[in-house]
Structure formats: structure tokens, C-alpha cells
Structure 1
Amino acid sequence: MRVLIISWEYAPNMIGGLGKHVMELAPALVSQGCQVHVLTPRLNGGPSREIAESGIAIYRPDVPLMDRDFIAFNQYVNLLLQEAALKLADEIGGFDLIHIHDWLTAPAGIAVKHAWKIPLVATIHATERGRGQGRLLSTQSEQINAIEWQLTYEAWRVIACSDFMADQVHSYFSTPPDKIDVVPNGVCIQPSPFTSEADRLAYRRAFAEDAQPLAFYVGRIVYEKGLHILLDSWPSVLRIYPRARLLIAGSGPFLADLRQQASALGISDNVTFGGFITDDERDKLYHIASAAVFPSLYEPFGMVALEAMAARCPVVVSATGGLTEVVKPHETGITVQPGNPQSLTWGLLHTFQNPPWTQARVENAYADARDNFSWEKIARETMAVYNHVKAEWDTNSWGK
């Protein structure tokens, strides 16, 4: 099986969960015997061509600097990706199918699908309407929604990362349920980044006192992540633990609003906005935090919660979207009511105040992440979709 993955994100251009998903899935597919080629715009450096150690062939066509009109810029980049794909096939031969991740590279994928007459598989990681809580809030949102609809229509099969997302794809785009496969994200189980407990405690003391709770969030700083709810809950946490610390890591357009909110609440001395952090820093923070907290209002899957579980970090999450499929309440983590600061306060305090129960959930969560969300398992399920599509196409008149 020879597959062309066209993805807006791929190292070193990594923005969110989409890029991480493709980066981990591609080598796992190679280990399943799939020949994987990745086409991605050269938005943040990297060689124009390379063969990764795993055997993945990566192609990064040059693109212009980003324009203020992102939709127009995206459309132009898709034309460049389409041109690069057609030249690539002329050079190295054809592919069995194309795999697109979200709307960002949909126009290129759809164009080469029709040029080559081969099937297209689409993974939908999130939807524009979902991010808007069911609404399309701007002309740009309407344009993105239209591209998402076209992608789900043109795809031979659609992969959703959770049952929640499968329902949204069906509801928003009228995609037939029997055209949708649910394949979750995966996670890598990594060893502890610390050589000893003394090493871990020394690192933790840069963020919190030994006996004081440290709550940690990592991800994009956008409204739908519910961080304003987390800040609203923090004064109640401080009434019980006056020296508790909250670390919010990441970047995004909602950061200035959160800083202003923390100042207005009088909690700035107890809240650190850490900005962008590396994966190594993230892993260390998971291993020192008293809880990883993800109070999302909208969450298609919940990759960061799964990463925390794999690092044996207690998790407190909103009972929304795909998070409810990743975190089992009171078994692998604590779930709270979305948009409710009082409920979030309860979840955090329950985690801090009951160490034996918390540790039991941590061990359950680690086992669940290891056994049910390995990238090897996710790659097998993805290959099953590929094989299904290829078998149907082989017996179909389209493209012959």
C-alpha cells in the first residue's frame, strides 16, 4: 500500500494536535508495511526533501510568507501542494490512496484525487462549527465550514477521532454514519525524564513548594479551552491551599485576556503563564504536577489528557466532547461540569486532598493509555480503513 498524506502540519511546523497525530501515525503505518509519503508546506523550515529514519519520504514545497487573509493564503498554498503532488507522481509513480487531515489541505487532496482517479480518505480532527459552539461566527468560519463539507463529501471514507466527532460530522455535514470510521488518537509511553526522585523534586521546586499543589495546563490559549473557567475557580482553591500554583503553558490569541482576568481576580502571584514549551519540558511538568487540568468547552478528542495519563499525572477534565471517551470518571480521572467554576474547584480539591484515590486513578489511567491507545494499535485500525477503501475501489468502476 502506497499512501500520500497531505498535511498542513509536520515537523518542524507543529501547531497543535493535528501535526502531532500525523508525526506519530506515519512511522507507525510504516511499521505495518505501508509505504508512506508526506507532502507538507514548508512553512517553518526543514529540508525540501528527506527520508526519515523510519523510512517516511517527506516533501516540503516552498510557499510564500503568510498573508493576512488566511483563506486566500491557504488556497494559494493548496495550489502549490497540488502542483507538487502531480510532479511527484510523475517522478516516482502513483499512489493507492490519498489521506487528508482536516480542511487545511482539502483542496489539494480533492484536486489530485480527481486528477489521479484514486480514493481519498479524510481524518476530521475538529470542525469550525464545533469550535464556535454550533455557530459560524464569521465569513471565514463559513468558508472553512464549506471546505469541511466538501472534504467529507469527496472522501471515500471519513475517519473521526472519537464517537463525539463522528456524531458532529454526521450532524453538520450529513455524512452517512456508515461512511465514518472512529479511530482515536494514540500516545507514546515514555520513561520518566528524571533520573531520581531527588532530581524530580529539585525541578519541581522551581514552580511550587514541596507541600503545595501544582496544577498544570498545556495547549493552545483559545477561548474554547475554557481557561477563563479555570481562573475563575482558582480563588476557591487558594482559600484551601493559599500557596498553590497554577501553570498555564502555551500560546494563542486569548492570552492577554487571561492575564487581565488573573489580575482582576487578584491571583496573578499564584498563576504563571509559561508561554510555548518544548515536548521535553511538557513531559517534565507532567511528572511534577499534582494535576493536569483541561477545562475545555469544546474538545474533539483530548490528546493532552491522554498524554498526561501516559505520564502518570492525575487528570481533571471537563465532561465534554471526546474527553468523555478518554477519561473514565472516578476510574482514570476526575470529570467536571463544563463551564462551571465550582465544579472545577471540586475536581481539583478532590484530587489534591485524596492522595490514595488519586494514585489509584493514575495507575488505571496509565494502563488504559498503554493498552488501548498505542500508536501501533491506531496504525492497525487506520490500515484496516485503507484496506477497506482499496478493496472497494478495486471492484468499483470509478477511476478505471
Structure 2
Amino acid sequence: MTGSEWFSAVPGGLNRYFTDLYLALAGCSGLEVTASAFGEPAGAGGSWGPASGSTLRRVRTTLLDRRELTPGTVLDRHFCLYGPIAAGARGKLPLVVHFHGPWAAESAQAGESSRAVRAKYLVERLRYARADRFVVLSTHFRDLLAGDYGIDPARITVIPPGVDLSEFPDSAPPPQDTPRTVLCVRRLERRMGIDVLLDAWPRVIAAHPGTRLTIVGTGTAEAELRTQAAALDSVEFTGRVDDATLTELYGRATLTVVPTRSLEGFGLVALASLAAGRAPVVTDCGGLPDSVRGLDTSLVVPAGDRDALAERLIAALDGKVPSAERCREHAASFSWDAAARRHLELYRELAG
């Protein structure tokens, strides 16, 4: 397996998924799994070095790392820019590519130049060309990969992610004397829809005075979001926090919100919220509805619609959400063991 960074080095959805999937696969009998990414590794994983440094140096380092490319190896790549070519001394090796999102399109929405966006798209097309199979987390990203990159849907496998309920051992509701809090854990990027959430927030606090909004994360839109929230004294930005602190924040929260407006493959934070026993209000963007399908479809609101978001948050604060027990039961249906078994089946099929 090759990734971008280990989660401990750079928190984020892709890195969390890569780290957790590696640990789940490492526990599978009949499989020898190695993994490399930048930063301090998890478990017995490998590191290409510190997460800092120039992109050119990082690309060169990963391209030259061919230690594990022995006969019988299946290469599983999680970020198109990093990792060796899937070829050993005896020729091409089977290559699986995890498609976590359209890198070029995400860069365009972050405001990067058209030249940079075009270059990233060409890198994606080049690195995807030799893949034998693709793995995506939702049917939405399967359709996007087929439509925008011309990949045959027959080569794409949908494997939902897992969540570790043991990370949230106490899912009891917060004490009655605790101020009601809505928690939003997101990278602070334009496509994440936090500006829409802030637009909706005055209506929420008008209906529920004293309610707090806690926003966890960092990103390129942080300055403009802080400016937007300056007049709202009920909004707190925490920046990046460690796992222990994040668990505490989930414990204090009344509910959570995932207001993404575009390019959401699944939304691992929605599963984390459910594992913590907190109902997430999510948008209909990408694979987000998959996280609550079978639990409560009223938790899904139209992406970019501040009025619909405000109304659903108000209703949630009125108590119209699934209980902590139901949230945990639903989260339990997303198992890392099941995800690992499906990956193992795919690897064995390709290895012959």
C-alpha cells in the first residue's frame, strides 16, 4: 500500500482511511501487507520520511521505493502522485488504485490556477492508465470516476469504509447542564460548505438561544471563515486537535453537521459522529447520504441550501434525531473487518 501521509502526521479523511485500512488488513490471516507514506507510521508501517519537504523531492522518493515489488505483490495506491510504478523485475504487477476524489477538480475549487489544475488532471490520467482495478467508497464516486475519467465501471469496486466504535466508548448524551453544542469537523476549504453553515447559524441561535457552534479543522479558507463568523459570538474555531480532544468534543456535542457542498466521496466524519452516538445532519452531496441511509433520511438536506440546513438543525435541537443507541447500532454496520475482507478478495483475484 502506498499513501500520502499517515494520519498522525497530517489529519484528514484520506490519511485516516489509509491508516485504518492498513491496520485492518494487517490483522488479516493469509495476507502479508506493507504500507508506506510520509510521517510517523502506524503499526509496523513504513515511512518515506517527514511530511514536510518539496513536492518534487517527495515524488522522487516514492518513485524510487521499489523494495516491496516482488513477484506475487499487488500494489494498492491511495494517492496518484506518490508511489512506484507497478512493475517488478519480471514485468508489470497488478495495480489497485483507490480513488478518494478528483484531485484536479478539488484544486480548481480551492482557487488554484488553471495551469496547475490541468497539470494535476494529466497526472491523474497518466497514473490511472495502468490500473487493473479501482476502489471507491460510494456509488457516487464510481459514477464520477467513470464519467470524468473514462474508466470502465466493470473495473470499479465499491467498498464502504469502516469505523472503530472502540474509539468512542462513552456515547451517553451530554449532561443536562451542558450548553447545547453543534460540532462541525471539516477541513476549512470552500467546498466543505462551512460558509453556508455560518449563513444558517443566526436562524439556529434565534430558535435556540445559547447554542454553541464548534468548528474543528484548518485549511485555506480559515481566514475568510473567521471573518464571516466574527459577528457571531456563539461560534468557536478550535484549529486542529488530537484524537483524545476530538473524542471529548464529540462527547460534549448535542449533534454534528457535515455541510459539504461538492466533491464528497463518503464523509468519514459522519461515521465517527454515529460511532460517538451523535446524529449527523449531512447534505445530499456525493456519498454523504450513504452514511445515514437505513437510519434516518431526514438527516439529509440539499447542499448549499442555508434555509434547509437551518431548519433541520433547529429540528435536531428540538430533539428530532435518532437516539445515541440507534446511532451506534447503525455505525456498527460499517465494519473495518468487512472492508478488509473485501479488499483481500480483490487482491487474491488479481494475484491469481
| TM more than 0.5 | yes
Q: Secondary structure at the match of 2:209?
A: coil
Partner of 1:19: 15
Q: Are 1:237 and 2:204 counterparts?
A: yes
Higher relative contact order (CA 8 A, sep 6+): 2
**Structure ranking higher in helix proportion:** 1
1:128 to 93, 103, 111: 103
> CA 1:317/1:65 → structure 2, altered by over 3 Å: closer, same or farther?
closer
> CA 1:159/1:191 → structure 2, altered by over 3 Å: closer, same or farther?
closer
Partner of 1:30: 26
CA contact (8 A) 1:245 1:271 kept: yes
| Distance in 1 separating the partners of 2:195 and 2:265 | 19
CA contact (8 A) 2:36 2:46 kept: yes
| Distance in 2 separating the partners of 1:194 and 1:385 | 35
| Distance in 1 separating the partners of 2:204 and 2:342 | 42
* Shift of residue 366, structure 1, vs aligned partner: 2.1
| Distance in 2 separating the partners of 1:89 and 1:235 | 55
- The structure with more radius of gyration: 1
1:61 to 45, 48, 68: 48
CA contact (8 A) 2:256 2:273 kept: yes
CA contact (8 A) 1:128 1:136 kept: no
Partner of 1:80: 61
* Shift of residue 286, structure 1, vs aligned partner: 1.5
CA contact (8 A) 1:309 1:365 kept: yes
* Shift of residue 11, structure 1, vs aligned partner: 4.7
CA contact (8 A) 2:296 2:322 kept: no
Partner of 1:143: 119
* Shift of residue 150, structure 1, vs aligned partner: 2.2
CA contact (8 A) 1:158 1:180 kept: yes
1:170 to 146, 165, 187: 146
Partner of 2:322: 359
Deviations 1:322-360 (A, max 9, x none): 10111228726611111011000011011011x2x4234
Q: Are 1:346 and 2:343 counterparts?
A: no
Partner of 2:259: 295
| Distance in 1 separating the partners of 2:294 and 2:179 | 25
Structure-1-length-normalised TM-score? 0.80
* Shift of residue 219, structure 1, vs aligned partner: 2.0
CA contact (8 A) 1:212 1:244 kept: yes
Q: Are 1:384 and 2:345 counterparts?
A: yes
> CA 1:66/1:60 → structure 2, altered by over 3 Å: closer, same or farther?
same
| Distance in 1 separating the partners of 2:294 and 2:236 | 28
CA contact (8 A) 1:98 1:113 kept: no
Of 8-17 and 164-173, the range deviating more from structure 2:
8-17
| Distance in 2 separating the partners of 1:177 and 1:125 | 16
CA contact (8 A) 2:63 2:85 kept: no
Q: Are 1:220 and 2:192 counterparts?
A: no
> CA 1:218/1:65 → structure 2, altered by over 3 Å: closer, same or farther?
closer
Alignment-mate amino acid for residue 331 of structure 2? A
| Distance in 2 separating the partners of 1:110 and 1:171 | 25
Q: Secondary structure at the match of 1:40?
A: strand
| Distance in 1 separating the partners of 2:254 and 2:62 | 44
| Distance in 1 separating the partners of 2:275 and 2:105 | 27
Partner of 2:332: 370
* Shift of residue 65, structure 1, vs aligned partner: 4.9
Q: Secondary structure at the match of 2:125?
A: helix
Q: Are 1:156 and 2:132 counterparts?
A: yes
* Shift of residue 82, structure 1, vs aligned partner: 2.5
Of 18-27 and 220-229, the range deviating more from structure 2:
18-27
CA contact (8 A) 1:315 1:333 kept: no
Partner of 1:308: 273
Alignment-mate amino acid for residue 73 of structure 2? D
| Distance in 2 separating the partners of 1:123 and 1:369 | 23
> CA 1:60/1:181 → structure 2, altered by over 3 Å: closer, same or farther?
same
Partner of 2:74: 97
CA contact (8 A) 2:72 2:351 kept: no
1:10 to 6, 9, 13: 6
Q: Secondary structure at the match of 2:129?
A: helix
Structure-2-length-normalised TM-score? 0.90
Deviations 1:50-74 (A, max 9, x none): 9x3xxx4x2223469523xxxxx2x
Q: Secondary structure at the match of 1:272?
A: strand
> Unpaired runs of 5+ in structure 2?
none
| Distance in 2 separating the partners of 1:113 and 1:141 | 31
> CA 1:365/1:39 → structure 2, altered by over 3 Å: closer, same or farther?
same
Q: Secondary structure at the match of 2:96?
A: strand
| Distance in 2 separating the partners of 1:14 and 1:125 | 16
Alignment-mate amino acid for residue 6 of structure 1? T
Alignment-mate amino acid for residue 336 of structure 2? W
> CA 1:379/1:155 → structure 2, altered by over 3 Å: closer, same or farther?
same
| Distance in 2 separating the partners of 1:340 and 1:196 | 31
1:118 to 62, 80, 93: 93
> Unpaired runs of 5+ in structure 1?
68-72, 202-208, 392-400
Partner of 1:256: 223
| Distance in 1 separating the partners of 2:72 and 2:16 | 24
> CA 1:351/1:18 → structure 2, altered by over 3 Å: closer, same or farther?
same
CA contact (8 A) 1:63 1:77 kept: no
